[in-house]
């Protein structure tokens, strides 16, 4: 860990030194053509670096694809965000969102305060002192809940 930190500090110091040298060269340069050449060199260096990074990205994409194929052959799903959302938007059992779905399941339009009270009555265990706020946030994140009017929600 210490070696990485030292290397990072050295790289930052080199970059700072380059910037200072560039500023000095641009400020002391008597001709405009000399100062115009410096940015062109910088642009070429940036384009070269971008090309290098693009090639590295292609290599990484190829490696990831090979790993995904190997996992598929073993009967496993590749990792990543898309594989985690396999529940189809359903709330996890026992979560606040699951209790909210259960409370709103009667088809009534309810206020956040009523939903919070009914969630607690239905057995949701919490020590949250601002449960009403948490319920409001959860309601705004749930795609199967629609906002009927200010502070009133119902299942779609």
Query: How do the domains of the chain map onto residue ranges?
Result: 2-73, 96-155
- 106 vs 150, which has greater pLDDT? 150
Say what the pTM is.
0.44
pLDDT tens-digit readout, 46-65: 888 889 988 898 888 888 88
Which CATH number is 96-155's, of 1.20.120, 1.10.10, 1.10.1670, 3.40.50?
A: 1.10.10
Q: Which residues of 30-65 are buried (b: 16+ CB within 10 A; e: fewer)?
A: eeeeeeeeeeeeeeeeeeeeeeeeeeeeeeeeeeee
Is residue 101 a contact partner of residue 139, using CB atoms and an 8 Å limit?
no
């Amino acid at each position: 860990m210490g070696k990485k930190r030292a290397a990072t500090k050295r790289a930052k110091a080199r970059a700072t030194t380059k910037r200072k040298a560039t500023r000095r060269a641009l400020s002391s340069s008597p001709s405009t053509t000399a100062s115009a050449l410096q940015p062109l060199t910088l642009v070429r260096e940036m384009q070269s670096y971008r090309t290098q990074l693009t090639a590295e990205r292609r290599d990484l994409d190829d490696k990831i694809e090979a790993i995904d194929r190997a996992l598929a052959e073993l009967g496993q799903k590749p990792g990543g965000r898309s594989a985690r959302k396999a529940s189809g938007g359903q709330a996890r059992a026992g979560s606040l969102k699951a209790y909210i779905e259960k409370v709103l399941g009667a088809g009534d339009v309810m206020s956040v305060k009523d939903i919070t009270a009914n969630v607690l009555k239905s057995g949701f265990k919490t020590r949250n002192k601002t449960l009403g706020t948490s319920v409001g946030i959860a309601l705004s994140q749930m795609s199967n809940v629609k906002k009927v009017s200010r502070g009133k929600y119902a299942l779609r």
